[in-house]
Structure 1
Amino acid sequence: MSESQFSSAQSAHHALANRLQEIRLDAGLTARALSTAAGWHEAKTSRIEHAKQRPSETDLRAWCYVCSVPKLIPELVAEVRAVNSMWLEWRRAERTGLKQLNVAVRDIYERTRKFRSYCQTMIPGLLQTPQYTTAVLESVRDRRQVAIDDVAAAVAERVERQHILRESDHTFAFVLEEAALRYQVGGHAVLADQLRHLLDVSTLPSVTLGVIPTTVDRSTRWPVEDFYMFDNSQANVELVSGFLTVTHPRELAMYAETFTALSSLAAYGAAARRLITDALAELPAVDDGG
């Protein structure tokens, strides 16, 4: 488990477990007494209170009734649902295909006014060409063995989302590692078109694009996992096994501070465009499909 996954998902789980223990103690019940009244083994109560087992909504209702605090049921059910939604495995997220996963985040992109994105290895989705997006999603489909092949529909959804880049009530700050300009996705021709598109969108009034050169001293701030911030309400992090949603104010502040620190290392304006054109110049002039 990565540090970010542990920090967000596990800390929320532990907080819920601690609260349930406090409710039991406030009711003056031993773990054995609660277990007997709820109709389960005492070991289950221990696992729940030590965050080794996540309680179901039925467990929470029984816990509250036994502790004579039924008024807490809606609040605790909402809390466990938030914990459950914080970490989403790719296998579960993509079981209905890739389009629906992209449709599900349409609303948060539409309502966000201040978007921040840090990417270490890829061009972020809002700045991708259709061909680059197609190559990315075909790779995802094949690598994660997505059962439903709806790449074309997912690409269309992502491309349509990009209209917000040209709306005056949104601002976008992108920070890329220079390596993201060179990783091959879809072949030389696809990457060349993508880099040219990056030069174009970097001039949009709503867009600020920074590129961190490989020559920068990273003693003060190392590269981290790709993350996306939606105003100050949510951060999304894509990890190997799943999708992390961060909403806790303390952790959001950490991501905001990290973004600011990484931004300070980046080149902007003409210097950033020079890094992009340098990467473009290194590509073969003609691509025969290789």
Structure 2
Amino acid sequence: MSTQVEEILQALGARLRGFRKDAGFASGRAFARAAAWQESKVSRIENGKQRPSEEDVRVWCEITGQGDQLGDLIATVRHVDELWLDMRRLLRAGAEQRQRQALPVYGKTKVFRIWHPTVVWGTLQTSEYASAVFEQVVSYYEIPNDAEEAVAKRLERQQYLYRGDRIFNVLLGEQALYTNFGGPDVMKGQLDRLLAVMRLPRLSLGIVPRSAPASIWPGNSFSMFDARLVLVETYSAELSVTQPREIELYAKAFALLKQSAVYGTAVRDLILTAIQHFDQMPSDEESQPCGP
């Protein structure tokens, strides 16, 4: 969880704890009985370990007689929700809408810093690779199947590789060259794409080899847009980091990851080795079972 989110939740929890005590509930257990909640829920909320829902806040204000504070508290909860977006809610209308929403952010950004330890960054993906990725997204989150439309919107990002004076600093873990989306033919096409785009004048493509000495643990993938926004995706949520001191931490992490990266000819050799790996695997057609 982001430091900013933690601080907001801790401040919110302390405020709610004060309401509880002012209302005469000496313990969380007594308040939990009044709210018909488990005692552990009260403790987690008061200690900033759980995001209360808007209904939780309404119940809290009603029991403690703090109804005049409800609007402000709900605004705080909604702000937390904006910082930490549940993936199911983010993708409830399908994956295409999320890809469309990203385009204005890309259009405004001058300097990109991208870290993906296990997957090729979306803006460098081929349509076949992206399609395999979105098929998994649709299945995993059980959302409307708009993979084809999502791929089309993702590929629109590629215009920014060729337009304007944007700078793209992209770091991939070596595992990203081997994480198999779509089979060997799709992977070889994707790796060929990396060989092509690494020659673009404003794209710096680094690879962190598997055995490279680590200056910092790999962590989650993240995307930095100038010095104003960092997006971090987990299985359950997307975190938007906007606090300058937190953005500085991600900038520091990126610089440390770069210390382990190789560039230029060394990147080309790693990609060619990965292509040879997939050359040795049965092609998609060869792997199909023979007919009777």
TM-score (structure 2 length as normaliser): 0.80
2:94 to 86, 94, 97: 97
Change (3 A) 1:16 1:106: farther
Per the alignment, in what secondary structure is the counterpart of residue 278 of structure 2?
coil
Aligned residues: 271
User: Is 1:114 aligned with 2:106?
Assistant: no
- In 2: Cα distance, 1:55 partner to 1:276 partner: 47
- In 2: Cα distance, 1:12 partner to 1:277 partner: 48
Letter aligned with residue 14 of structure 1: Q
- In 2: Cα distance, 1:216 partner to 1:161 partner: 31
CA contact (8 A) 1:168 1:206 kept: no
User: Is 1:245 aligned with 2:235?
Assistant: no
Per the alignment, residue 174 of structure 2 pairs with 178
- In 2: Cα distance, 1:251 partner to 1:125 partner: 24
- In 1: Cα distance, 2:188 partner to 2:276 partner: 9
- In 1: Cα distance, 2:179 partner to 2:151 partner: 20
- In 2: Cα distance, 1:190 partner to 1:200 partner: 15
Per the alignment, in what secondary structure is the counterpart of residue 283 of structure 1?
helix
Letter aligned with residue 121 of structure 2: P
Per the alignment, residue 205 of structure 1 pairs with 201
Tell me the CA shift for residue 107 of structure 1. Answer: 1.4
Structure 1 range deviating more: 195-204 or 161-170: 161-170
Per the alignment, in what secondary structure is the counterpart of residue 268 of structure 2?
helix
Give the alignment of 1:226-237 within 5 angstroms.
226-237=221-232
Change (3 A) 1:121 1:53: closer
1:13 to 5, 9, 29: 9
Per the alignment, in what secondary structure is the counterpart of residue 105 of structure 1?
helix
User: Is 1:270 aligned with 2:262?
Assistant: no
Tell me the CA shift for residue 78 of structure 1. Answer: 5.0
- In 2: Cα distance, 1:162 partner to 1:56 partner: 40
Per the alignment, residue 194 of structure 1 pairs with 190
Tell me the CA shift for residue 202 of structure 1. Answer: 1.1
CA contact (8 A) 1:31 1:42 kept: no
Letter aligned with residue 137 of structure 2: V
Tell me the CA shift for residue 73 of structure 1. Answer: 6.1
User: Is 1:282 aligned with 2:277?
Assistant: yes
Change (3 A) 1:110 1:53: closer
- In 1: Cα distance, 2:250 partner to 2:262 partner: 20
- In 1: Cα distance, 2:146 partner to 2:67 partner: 50
Tell me the CA shift for residue 250 of structure 1. Answer: 2.0
TM-score (structure 1 length as normaliser): 0.80
- In 2: Cα distance, 1:53 partner to 1:194 partner: 40
Letter aligned with residue 237 of structure 2: G
CA contact (8 A) 2:181 2:187 kept: yes
- In 2: Cα distance, 1:288 partner to 1:59 partner: 56
- In 1: Cα distance, 2:209 partner to 2:36 partner: 54
User: Is 1:154 aligned with 2:150?
Assistant: yes
Q: Deviations over 1:210-229 (max 9, x none)?
A: 001112122x3222111111
Change (3 A) 1:260 1:43: farther
Tell me the CA shift for residue 169 of structure 1. Answer: 2.7
Per the alignment, residue 54 of structure 2 pairs with 56
CA contact (8 A) 1:175 1:210 kept: yes
Structure 1 range deviating more: 265-274 or 190-199: 265-274
Per the alignment, residue 128 of structure 1 pairs with 125
- In 2: Cα distance, 1:205 partner to 1:12 partner: 42
Tell me the CA shift for residue 19 of structure 1. Answer: 5.8
